[in-house]
Chains A and B, each alone.
Chain A
């Protein structure tokens, strides 16, 4: 087959909604874009453990502590599923680690905000995991098989994340005046960053069209953002909390909520590395990687030794 017919074969699969598997031929750009997207997604799961890990030892009771621990452990698992999916495209795990640490590959900007109160564990579960779920559910049908299968597994596990967060908010919102204030303050701080999780407006998102064609993106940033606002407004009402947007208003004509514009300058600034926690997050990851080096080496040395001993016995 010529390159041309490989391309035709690939395009036909795209048109017919068929999956691409690791050993199938694929265009270089498709492979590169997928590696970037999946690695970024994997890094987000791993770095995303840090803002919540911050509260594990200070959870208000044993039940909350066990739940938070389980959630953070899930996120580690999500990172691993996704790293494996990316590896099937020909990048090594160590390469991805290196590129995270050097800043060449990114992770979601949301994790560069600090978690300063217990209520943030509620808001993060409710809003951040909520936004992530909205982003991720359509990816269960993405064109690259290993990525789609990882997403199915992840989405199954995510739903408890959002529910436990909402439950924290509900408890605080129905608690004392101080607790309610804490919940509102947390919503105020996490609302706009959560909206930014869907990425820049469609007009400033040049790759959307190609990604939609490849089915590695199934809805545009603005479509998903709108959907998120529409479902979250009602959830805030049940909590009795106020969404910090004076432009938020039901629009009878469109059947959707109108809402204000996030501060995109803030978004791009954090992307450049200038968010409140960028440095702390990367330093923590680098430190964990460097200080784990001897463990990785020791485990290999131990398995080498055991294999040699076995071979000697057999000889």
Chain B
């Protein structure tokens, strides 16, 4: 019985992040299935870096990613909307002013 249930188990899903070159952030590249982290990195190399797209790979099991709810977008990001003084263009300075 447990044998049967086991055979129905899928390899877990992993999210893959790739650093394309030294000095840049790791960026989400996609996802894949693998039995464990080692295999996930090997598979990520085969699936996402066939054309030298990366020099470093991070993998994390998808179930460990916590995401914000798109329905909360307004509540989450609205407070930034009325604080335009955070942007340099908010300030009205004379044209002859340079190096600023």
Contact = CB atoms under 8 A, between A and B. Distances in A.
Given A23-B67, A73-B50, A300 B32 contact: no
* Interface size classification for chain A: 20 to 34
Given A23-B70, A302-B35, A297 B7 contact: yes
Nearest to A302: B35
B70 A300 contact: no
Main secondary structure of the interface of B (DSSP, over half): mixed
A137 B32 CA distance: 23
A297 B36 contact: no
Nearest to A92: B10
A238 interface: no
Interface string B42-73: 00001100110000000000000001011100
Interface in B57-100: 67, 69-71
Contacts, number: 55
B35 A94 contact: no
Contacts of A157: 50-51
Given A80-B32, A84-B31, A297 B47 contact: no
Main secondary structure of the interface of A (DSSP, over half): helix
Contact of B13 (A87, A297, A299): A87
Interface in B1-33: 6-11, 13, 30-33
A157 B47 CA distance: 12
B36 A303 contact: yes
Interface of B: 6-11, 13, 30-33, 35-36, 39, 46-47, 50-51, 67, 69-71
13 contacts: A21-B70, A23-B67, A23-B69, A24-B70, A70-B50, A80-B32, A81-B47, A87-B31, A94-B8, A299-B11, A299-B36, A300-B11, A303-B36
